[in-house]
Amino acid sequence: MFAEIITIGDEILIGQIVDTNSAWMAKQLNLIGIKVKQITSVSDDEAHIMEALQLAEERAEIILITGGLGPTKDDITKLTMAKHFGMGFRRDEETLKNVTNIFARLNRPMIDVNIRQADVPDGCVVIQNKNGTAPCMWFDHHGKIFVSMPGVPHEMMYLMDEEILPRLKASFELPSIVHKTILTAGLGESFLAQQIAAIEESLPAHIKLAYLPRLGQVRLRLSASGANEEVLKAEVQTYAQQIIAELKSYVMVEDDVPLEKAILDLMTARKLTLSTAESCTGGYIAHLITQHPGCSAVYAGGAVSYSYELKESMLGVKPDTLNTFGAVSEQTVLEMAAGAVKHFNTDYAVAVSGIAGPDGGTAEKPVGTVWIAVASKIDVQAKVFKFGNKRIQNIERSASAALTMILSRLKQDHN
């Protein structure tokens, strides 16, 4: 069973907004056994939309469309879909009532363009949008399902969760799809593939292995499809354990969670606390940690200290250390991490100091040189990394390496 997602709107194609809707929908569809064949973004142009609908109908049984349902002249999705299906229009009284109630709550007058929100193609099934004025429209055309939804994310998500997904499950006999993700760090994609080549070759046809690399990390995702979910789970788990045993120290997390979430979960369970001391990453590690609910149970806070003066006053780094070895050095980062544990009174701390670039490097310390240290109340350990000359990538790589070091240290101390 295949689906295609079509997002409509010039704002996507010019980069004014990021299409987060498609990624979210694809994940929800996959959970109920529907594979996404293709994701297409098209402009607010009738010919482009018509072509996208025709091609999608050839590839997939389910076509989900978002965007272009507003009240203004550039919103032409409804008109184009009526033309595609050869339908006229009717006024849907329930939709009109919904729109009227919304404007009454807002104490705003209804004008003609708002009233016309209730005009829908006469062959569709209307699904009421309780979070907005644009109705959701369900078309059953030659055995293919077309669903047109608003592009506003919270409106689309509500409609998918409450209406569309349940209707799709009721309309089709769907297979089970099972995923298992293993997060690795410290070994590149090609080397991972070489090390687990025998396991990958032994996988049956209904189980696939995907490599999902990002800076400093590679996710390995096993995906299986079939009729019996419990059997699939057992099969996938068997192969996952083989991979984990083969990769050993490179395996950071045996689940589909980011490194910082794994750290928070482990430290929460053991009632441990963490602080950060960042220089070249500029608070990015703190950002990654604090995006997760409940992080305050673990994360006490930290320092973003670029200058010598702040490294000294906030973290207790000795002036002689900075003057002798410089900010980007083993000695300085060791004192930064130890100082964070002491001054912020946490069980662990991570410190990062490096040259993110594109300038500031020397022959001895080129751009991309980064020192990272992890400290506990007992000791502190440091490691140097040599990244590239791209500033943003260096910041992301530094954060990834720092989080990997924290998690490895925690496993060493508490597992």
Give tens-digit pLDDT for 324-337.
999 999 999 999 99
Catalogue all structural domains in the chain, each as residue range(s) with its CATH number: 2-171 (3.40.980.10), 176-253 (3.30.70.2860), 259-414 (3.90.950.20)
Supply the pTM of this predicted model: 0.80
**Residue-level pLDDT at 267:** 98
Task: Check whether 165 has a pLDDT greater than 80.
Answer: yes
Kindly indicate the confidence band of residue 311, based on its pLDDT and cuts at 50, 70 and 90. Answer: very high
Q: Over the chain, what is the mean pLDDT? A: 95
**Residue-level pLDDT at 200:** 97
Task: Check whether 71 has a pLDDT greater than 90.
Answer: no
**Residue-level pLDDT at 249:** 87
**Residue-level pLDDT at 70:** 87
Strands 2-8, 35-42: pairing is parallel
Provide the β-strand partners of residue 42: 8
Question: Mean pLDDT throughout 98-118?
Answer: 90
Contact (CB, 8 A) for 239 and 201: no
> Of 44, 38, 53, which is closest to residue 73 (Cα–Cα)?
44
**Residue-level pLDDT at 119:** 94
Q: In whole angstroms, give the CA distance from residue 98 to residue 156.
A: 17
**Residue-level pLDDT at 411:** 94
Kindly indicate the confidence band of residue 4, based on its pLDDT and cuts at 50, 70 and 90. Answer: very high
Q: In whole angstroms, give the CA distance from residue 55 to residue 59.
A: 7
Task: Check whether 246 has a pLDDT greater than 90.
Answer: yes
**Residue-level pLDDT at 244:** 97
Task: Check whether 354 has a pLDDT greater than 90.
Answer: yes
